[in-house]
C-alpha cells in the first residue's frame, strides 16, 4: 500500500511542477476581479440613527444603498438566491451600518438563538480592515435572531480570534421583504491612523441558511490566496480623530467548595470558602497601540481541560482558554515546527507549582493547584506604518504548601518561586504588505530559594522570522530561526539533559552525553518553507525544520522533543466548482521524514486524504496513513533507539447536513503494524440537536483501543546493566463530551459542559529488549518464561537466570483512571460589556481497579464517590471612559 502512496505523491509533484508555470502564465494574463469601492458620508448635524432595526431615519438618506452581492459558496461567481443591500454613514464618534436582507419567504428565516459568537441560522457580517494592511481586520456579525458575533482577523484570514469582545450595538427586525439590521460601532473599538481622509478595506458576507449559501459584497476568487487582501474599499471618511480607548473592568467573586471530608486531615474538612476581587483594564496608549492589564485575574468560568492520558512520557498539550491570554494571542505566536512547538505557551504563566511538599514524615499536605498571577500586562497593536508590536509582562507569586507532619507539627513549604515572565514581539510590513520581517524575545526569571534549585534560574529564547508573498500572494516563502539558553544549578541543568525532551543519557547516542558540571544549555531551532497558497486548483508546500539537542523552551514555551531534523512536503487539489453531486471537494497528500542530529534515519510517513461536501450538504472524509519506517529515540526513556514495525492506518468519517435540527457524524479509524506489534481502533459518534431555537445540545463519544506488544514498563538493573522491560498492553479509553446551551435571549444564557473520561490498561506477556533495532519483533524482544516471572503483593519479580534468586522486580503497571468534569454557567450581560456569572462545577478524579470492566469502574469511581462541588458567583462592570 505504501508503494502506491509513494507513486501517488511523486505523480502529484510531477503534475504540480509541470502545471505550476502554466498556472502562473494563466493567472498573469487573466483579469483580476475588480475591486469595488463604496463612498460613505458624514451625517453632519443630523440626528444619528436609532438602533432599532427599522431603517427609517433621515440620516440614512445621505448615502445610497450598495448591493449586487455575488455568491461565493457553493457556486462562486453566480447570482445569489436572495440579494442583500448595505449602507454606511458615520459621525465623529461612531460608524453606522444598515443591512436589508431580502427573503421571499420571511416566515422561513432561521432565527436560532445562541450566546455571543454562536453564528447560528441566517446572518450578515461586516469586515473592516481599518489598518488597510491587507492582513488584519475587525469582524462584526449579526444573526437574524439578534445575536452578536465579533472576531479579530489576522494572518490574512487564517486566524479569527473570537475572544475579542468590543462594545457595539445592533438590532434586527423581520418584515414582509425579509429582515433588516442596524449597527452602531464606536470608533473607539477600531484602530486606524490619523490621516485626514481614511481609506479602509471592507467586505460583507451574507449567510442564506436554508441553502447554506454565502454571498459577498466584494467578489472573491474561489482560489484566492487569502481573505483580507481581497477586500473592497470604503472611502469618504474624513476628519475623524483616532479614539484612545479607556476601559476598566473590576470584578468581585465569591466561591464555595464542598467535598468529601477526610477524617484527620485538617485540609479536607468538607468545605472551603473564598472571596476575591481583581481588575482588568484596556488603555489606548495611541489609537494604534493598546495596553491590556489585569490584576489578580480569575478564570473560574473557563471550561476544564478534556480528559487525556499519555503513556509515552511526554507532556500533553492543552489549548489556552483564559480570556486575557487568548485575546490577541496571534501577535505573540511563534510556531517553529508546524505543530504545538512554540516559543510562547501562555499556560506556563500560572502553572501548577513544580515543587513538592511531601517528605518522609509528612502526614497531610494542602498543595496549591495553580500559581497566583499577581498581575499581567500586554502592550500590543499595529501602526499605520506596518509595525506590529506586542509586549507581555507577568509576575506570579510565591506559592507555599501547608504541611502537617506525623508528629503534629505544622509548616509551610515553598513549592513555586516568585517568577517574572516577559515576551516581546515585533514585525514590520514591507513591499506593499507582501513581505514582513519580525523577531521575538522571551525571558523567564525566578527568585530561587529553599528546595527549588532543580528549576532554571532564568531562561531566554529569541528568534527572527520572515515571509515573502509574490504573484498576487499566490506564492510564498517563509522562515524562522530560534535560539535558546537556560541557566541554573548543576542539578537543574542535569535534570534538563535527562528529561524526556532531551534524553542526553541515551546509551547508543554518540552526539550527546550528560555533563553533570554544566550550569547552562544553549540550542537552536528553525523552519524554512516554500509553497503555493492560492490561484488555480493546486496548493503545495515543501519545507524542513530542526530542533537541536540543546534547544529548551519549556519555561515559557512548549517543546515536545528536541534532537529532530524534519523534512516535509504536501500537495492539495481543490474542486471548488460545484457539480451534479458535490458542492466542494479536495484531495491532499503529505509526506515527511525525521532524522536526529547524529544522522540516524528515524521515520518515514505518508498520508493521503480525500474530502467531499455532497450536494445535500452531507460530507465524507476518507484517508490512509503509513509509517513505512519508524525508530523511536525516546521509547526506552534513555535506552537505545527502538524500532517500531511499519504500520498502515485508514479512517472514514461521514456527516449529515449540519443545518438540520438533528445532525450527526460517524467516524471509524483502524490501523495495525506488521506482526501485530501494535494496533489502533477508534469509534467516534458526534451529534447536534436543536429541538427549538433557544435550545441546542451536542455530544461527542469516543472509544479507543490501543493494544501494543512492546509498551515500555521499567528499566531495572541486572548484573550492572539496565534491562529495558516492556509488556503487551491492552489499553482502552472511552470519553463523552456533552454541551447544552439554552439561550433565553442573546444576553442571558445557560450553558452546561460535562465530560466523563475513563482509561484502563492491563498488561501481560512481559519481555525485555534484546536487540532494539532488529527488524523482526521476535528478535527485538525476549519474552519471560513462566519460570522466570512471578507475581505477588502487586509486584512482578524476575529470576532471569533461573537460579532461584530474584534478579530484579517492578511494580504492577496495570491502571484504571477515572475523571469527570462539568460546568453549569448562567451568564447575564446586563449592560454591554458587563456580566454576571453563576457557576456550578463538579469534579471527580480517581483510580479504579484495572481488573474490572468499564461498568464496574464507573459504578465504583463515579456513582459511588462524592464529587467535589464548586459554587461561584462572579460580577464584572465595564467602565468606558
Please report whether residue 712 resides in a domain: no
Do the bridges between strand 289-295 and strand 70-73 make them parallel or antiparallel, or are there none, so unpaired?
unpaired
Judged against a pLDDT cut of 60, whether residue 7 lies above it is answered with no
d(CA 427, CA 416) in angstroms, rounded, equals 34
Closest by Cα among 188, 282, 142 to 878? 282
What is the reported pLDDT for 495?
A: 97
Q: Cell triple for residue 108?
A: 422561513
Closest by Cα among 435, 356, 465 to 400? 356
Q: How many helices (H) and strands (E) does the chain have?
A: 6, 50
d(CA 612, CA 361) in angstroms, rounded, equals 63
Single pTM value for the model: 0.88
Do the bridges between strand 178-186 and strand 169-175 make them parallel or antiparallel, or are there none, so unpaired?
antiparallel
Q: What is the secondary structure of 144-207 as a DSSP string?
A: TT--EEEEEEEGGGTEEETT-----EEEEEEETTEEEEEEEEEGGGS-----SEEEEEEEEEEE
**Tell me: the pLDDT tens digits for 549-608?**
999 999 999 999 999 999 999 999 999 999 999 999 999 999 999 999 999 999 999 999
Do the bridges between strand 601-614 and strand 834-847 make them parallel or antiparallel, or are there none, so unpaired?
unpaired
Judged against a pLDDT cut of 60, whether residue 126 lies above it is answered with yes
Whole-Å CA distances, 451 to 400, 459, 477, 518, 775: 12, 19, 48, 19, 46
Domain housing 109: 37-238
Closest by Cα among 830, 829, 879 to 117? 829
Do the bridges between strand 601-614 and strand 582-595 make them parallel or antiparallel, or are there none, so unpaired?
antiparallel
**Tell me: the pLDDT tens digits for 49-78?**
999 999 999 999 999 999 999 999 999 999
Judged against a pLDDT cut of 60, whether residue 387 lies above it is answered with yes
Judged against a pLDDT cut of 60, whether residue 29 lies above it is answered with no
48: domain CATH number is 2.60.40.1190
**Tell me: the pLDDT tens digits for 406-418?**
998 999 999 999 9
Task: Give yes or no for a contact between 530 and 476, defined as CB atoms under 8 angstroms apart.
Answer: yes
Judged against a pLDDT cut of 90, whether residue 321 lies above it is answered with no
Q: For the CA atoms of 707, 712, 713, 714, what is the dihedral angle to 10 degrees?
A: 170
Please report whether residue 863 resides in a domain: no
Mean pLDDT of 294-308: 74
d(CA 472, CA 31) in angstroms, rounded, equals 12
| Beta strands per DSSP E along 337-417 | 362-366, 373-382, 387-396, 399-405, 410-416
What is the reported pLDDT for 63?
A: 96
What is the reported pLDDT for 714?
A: 97
What is the reported pLDDT for 199?
A: 95
What is the reported pLDDT for 302?
A: 64
Task: Give yes or no for a contact between 363 and 406, defined as CB atoms under 8 angstroms apart.
Answer: yes
What is the reported pLDDT for 298?
A: 75
Judged against a pLDDT cut of 50, whether residue 25 lies above it is answered with no
Task: Give yes or no for a contact between 216 and 203, defined as CB atoms under 8 angstroms apart.
Answer: yes
Burial of 607: CB neighbours in 10 Å, binned 0-12, 13-18, 19+: middle
Closest by Cα among 572, 601, 569 to 584? 572
Please report whether residue 108 resides in a domain: yes
Whole-Å CA distances, 70 to 218, 219, 220, 614, 762: 8, 6, 9, 22, 59
How distant is the alpha carbon of residue 653 from its chain centre? 22
d(CA 5, CA 649) in angstroms, rounded, equals 12
Least confident range of 142-151, 293-302, 699-708, 792-801: 293-302
CA torsion sign, 156 to 161 to 164 to 170? positive
Please report whether residue 3 resides in a domain: no
Other beta carbons less than 10 A from residue 805's beta carbon:
8
Judged against a pLDDT cut of 50, whether residue 14 lies above it is answered with no
Mean pLDDT of 498-512: 96
What is the reported pLDDT for 300?
A: 65
Confidence of residue 303 (pLDDT cuts 50, 70, 90): low
d(CA 384, CA 369) in angstroms, rounded, equals 43
Domain count, the chain: 1
Task: Give yes or no for a contact between 703 and 733, defined as CB atoms under 8 angstroms apart.
Answer: yes
Mean pLDDT of 200-213: 97
Please report whether residue 224 resides in a domain: yes
Show Cβ contacts of residue 575 under 8 Å, excluding neighbours closer than 6 positions: 537, 582, 584, 585, 586
Closest by Cα among 386, 400, 487 to 435? 386
Q: How far apart are the first and last CA of the chain?
A: 65
Do the bridges between strand 246-258 and strand 232-238 make them parallel or antiparallel, or are there none, so unpaired?
unpaired
**Tell me: the pLDDT tens digits for 633-689?**
999 999 999 999 999 999 999 999 999 999 999 999 999 999 999 999 999 999 999
Share of the chain above pLDDT 90, in %: 76
- Which residue has better confidence, 854 or 828? 828
The residue written with cell numbers 533495532 in the block is 773
Collapsing DSSP to helix, strand or coil, 513 comes out as coil
Show Cβ contacts of residue 638 under 8 Å, excluding neighbours closer than 6 positions: 498, 503, 505, 506, 507, 715
Task: Give yes or no for a contact between 654 and 620, defined as CB atoms under 8 angstroms apart.
Answer: yes
What is the reported pLDDT for 682?
A: 98
Task: Give yes or no for a contact between 676 and 704, defined as CB atoms under 8 angstroms apart.
Answer: no
Mean pLDDT of the chain: 91
What is the reported pLDDT for 313?
A: 82
Collapsing DSSP to helix, strand or coil, 806 comes out as coil
Least confident range of 64-78, 107-121, 436-450, 860-874: 860-874
DSSP symbol at 385: T
Please report whether residue 88 resides in a domain: yes
Judged against a pLDDT cut of 90, whether residue 142 lies above it is answered with yes
Q: Cell triple for residue 485?
A: 539558553
Task: Give yes or no for a contact between 569 and 542, defined as CB atoms under 8 angstroms apart.
Answer: yes
Share of the chain above pLDDT 70, in %: 96
Please report whether residue 646 resides in a domain: no
**Tell me: the pLDDT tens digits for 270-291?**
999 999 999 989 888 877 788 9
Confidence of residue 28 (pLDDT cuts 50, 70, 90): very low
d(CA 301, CA 430) in angstroms, rounded, equals 42
Closest by Cα among 736, 738, 741 to 753? 738
Q: What is the secondary structure of 87-130 as a DSSP string?
A: EEEE-SSEEEEEEEEE-S-GGG------STT---SSEEEEEEET
Q: φ, ψ for residue 814 (rounded to 5)? A: -55, 145
Judged against a pLDDT cut of 70, whether residue 771 lies above it is answered with yes
Confidence of residue 3 (pLDDT cuts 50, 70, 90): very low
Please report whether residue 523 resides in a domain: no
d(CA 172, CA 100) in angstroms, rounded, equals 10
Amino acid at each position: 500500500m505504501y508503494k502506491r502512496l509513494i507513486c501517488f505523491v511523486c505523480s502529484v509533484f510531477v503534475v504540480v511542477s509541470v502545471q505550476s508555470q502554466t498556472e502562473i502564465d494563466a493567472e498573469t494574463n487573466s483579469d483580476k476581479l475588480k475591486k469595488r469601492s463604496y463612498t460613505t458620508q458624514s451625517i453632519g448635524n443630523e440626528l444619528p440613527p436609532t438602533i432599532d432595526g427599522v431603517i427609517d431615519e433621515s440620516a440614512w438618506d445621505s448615502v445610497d444603498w450598495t448591493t449586487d452581492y455575488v455568491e461565493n459558496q457553493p457556486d462562486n461567481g453566480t447570482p445569489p438566491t436572495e440579494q442583500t443591500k448595505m449602507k454606511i454613514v458615520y459621525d465623529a464618534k461612531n460608524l453606522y451600518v444598515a443591512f436589508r436582507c431580502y427573503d421571499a419567504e420571511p416566515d422561513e428565516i432561521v432565527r436560532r438563538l445562541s450566546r455571543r459568537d454562536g453564528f447560528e441560522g441566517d446572518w450578515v457580517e461586516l469586515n473592516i480592515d481599518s489598518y488597510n494592511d491587507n492582513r488584519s481586520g475587525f469582524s462584526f456579525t449579526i444573526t437574524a435572531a439578534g445575536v452578536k458575533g465579533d472576531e479579530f482577523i489576522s494572518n490574512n484570514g487564517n486566524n479569527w480570534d473570537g475572544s475579542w469582545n468590543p462594545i457595539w450595538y445592533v438590532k434586527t427586525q423581520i418584515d414582509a421583504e425579509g429582515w433588516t439590521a442596524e449597527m452602531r460601532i464606536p470608533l473607539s473599538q477600531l484602530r486606524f491612523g490619523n490621516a485626514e481622509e481614511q481609506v479602509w478595506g471592507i467586505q460583507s458576507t451574507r449567510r442564506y441558511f436554508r441553502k447554506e449559501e454565502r454571498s459577498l459584497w466584494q467578489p472573491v476568487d474561489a482560489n484566492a490566496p487569502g481573505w483580507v487582501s481581497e477586500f473592497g474599499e470604503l472611502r469618504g471618511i474624513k476628519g475623524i480623530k483616532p479614539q484612545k480607548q479607556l476601559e476598566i473592568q473590576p470584578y468581585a467573586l465569591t466561591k464555595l467548595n464542598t467535598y468529601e471530608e477526610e477524617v484527620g486531615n485538617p485540609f479536607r474538612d468538607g468545605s472551603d470558602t473564598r472571596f476575591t476581587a481583581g481588575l482588568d483594564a484596556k488603555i489606548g496608549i495611541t489609537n494604534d497601540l493598546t495596553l491590556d492589564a489585569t490584576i489578580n485575574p480569575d478564570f473560574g468560568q473557563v471550561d476544564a481541560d478534556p480528559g487525556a492520558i499519555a503513556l509515552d512520557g511526554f507532556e500533553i498539550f492543552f489549548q489556552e482558554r483564559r480570556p486575557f491570554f487568548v485575546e490577541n494571542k496571534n501577535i505573540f505566536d511563534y510556531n517553529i515546527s508546524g505543530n504545538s512547538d512554540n516559543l510562547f505557551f501562555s499556560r506556563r504563566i500560572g502553572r501548577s507549582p513544580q515543587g513538592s511538599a511531601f517528605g518522609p514524615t509528612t502526614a497531610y499536605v494542602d498543595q496549591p493547584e495553580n500559581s497566583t498571577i499577581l498581575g499581567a500586562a500586554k502592550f500590543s497593536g499595529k501602526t499605520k506604518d506596518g509595525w506590529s508590536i506586542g509586549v507581555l509582562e507577568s509576575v506570579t507569586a510565591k506559592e507555599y504548601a501547608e504541611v502537617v507532619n506525623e508528629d503534629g507539627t505544622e509548616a509551610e513549604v515553598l513549592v513555586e518561586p516568585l517568577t517574572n515572565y516577559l515576551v516581546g514581539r515585533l514585525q514590520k510590513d514591507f513591499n506593499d504588505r507582501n513581505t514582513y520581517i519580525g523577531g521575538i524575545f522571551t525571558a523567564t526569571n525566578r527568585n530561587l530559594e529553599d528546595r527549588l534549585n532543580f528549576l532554571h534560574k532564568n531562561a531566554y529564547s529569541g528568534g527572527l522570522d520572515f515571509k515573502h508573498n509574490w504573484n498576487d500572494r499566490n506564492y510564498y516563502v517563509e522562515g524562522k530561526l530560534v535560539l535558546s539558553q537556560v541557566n541554573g544549578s548543576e542539578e537543574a541543568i542535569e535534570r534538563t539533559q535527562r528529561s524526556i525532551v532531551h534524553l542526553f543519557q541515551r546509551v547508543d547516542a554518540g552526539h550527546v552525553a550528560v555533563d553533570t558540571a554544566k550550569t547552562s544549555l544553549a540550542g537552536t531551532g528553525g523552519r524554512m518553507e516554500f509553497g503555493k497558497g492560492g490561484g488555480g486548483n493546486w496548493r503545495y508546500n515543501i519545507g524542513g525544520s530542526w530542533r537541536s539537542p540543546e534547544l529548551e523552551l519549556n519555561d515559557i514555551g512548549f517543546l515536545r522533543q528536541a534532537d529532530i531534523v524534519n523534512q516535509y512536503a504536501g500537495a492539495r487539489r481543490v474542486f471548488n466548482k460545484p457539480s451534479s453531486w458535490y458542492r466542494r471537494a479536495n484531495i491532499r497528500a503529505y509526506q515527511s521524514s525525521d532524522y536526529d542530529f547524529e544522522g540516524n534515519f528515524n521515520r518515514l510517513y505518508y498520508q493521503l486524504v480525500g474530502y467531499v461536501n455532497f450536494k445535500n450538504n452531507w460530507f465524507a472524509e476518507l484517508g490512509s496513513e503509513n509509517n513505512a519506517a519508524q525508530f523511536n529515540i525516546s521509547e526506552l526513556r534513555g535506552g537505545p533507539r527502538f524500532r517500531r514495525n511499519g504500520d498502515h492506518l485508514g479512517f472514514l468519517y461521514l456527516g449529515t447536513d449540519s443545518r438540520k435540527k438533528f445532525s450527526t457524524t460517524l467516524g471509524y479509524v483502524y490501523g495495525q503494524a506488521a506482526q501485530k506489534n501494535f494496533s489502533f481502533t477508534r469509534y467516534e459518534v458526534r451529534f447536534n440537536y436543536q429541538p427549538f431555537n433557544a435550545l441546542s445540545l451536542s455530544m461527542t463519544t469516543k472509544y479507543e483501543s490501543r493494544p501494543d506488544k512492546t509498551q515500555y514498563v521499567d528499566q531495572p538493573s541486572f548484573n550492572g546493566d539496565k534491562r529495558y522491560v516492556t509488556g503487551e498492553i491492552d489499553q482502552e479509553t472511552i470519553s463523552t463530551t456533552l454541551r447544552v446551551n439554552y439561550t433565553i435571549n442573546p444576553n442571558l444564557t445557560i450553558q452546561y459542559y460535562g465530560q466523563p473520561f475513563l482509561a484502563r490498561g492491563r498488561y501481560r506477556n512481559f519481555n525485555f529488549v534484546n536487540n532494539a533495532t532488529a527488524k523482526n519483533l521476535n528478535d527485538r524482544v525476549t519474552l519471560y518464561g513462566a519460570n522466570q516471572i512471578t507475581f505477588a503483593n502487586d509486584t512482578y519479580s524476575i529470576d532471569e537466570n533461573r537460579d532461584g534468586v530474584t534478579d530484579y522486580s517492578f511494580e504492577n503497571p496495570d491502571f484504571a483512571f477515572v475523571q469527570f468534569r462539568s460546568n453549569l454557567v448562567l451568564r447575564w450581560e446586563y449592560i454591554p460589556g458587563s456580566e454576571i456569572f453563576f457557576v456550578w462545577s463538579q469534579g471527580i478524579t480517581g483510580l479504579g481497579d484495572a481488573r474490572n470492566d468499564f461498568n464496574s469502574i464507573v459504578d465504583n469511581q463515579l456513582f459511588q464517590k462524592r464529587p467535589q462541588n464548586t459554587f461561584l458567583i462572579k460580577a464584572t462592570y465595564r467602565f468606558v471612559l
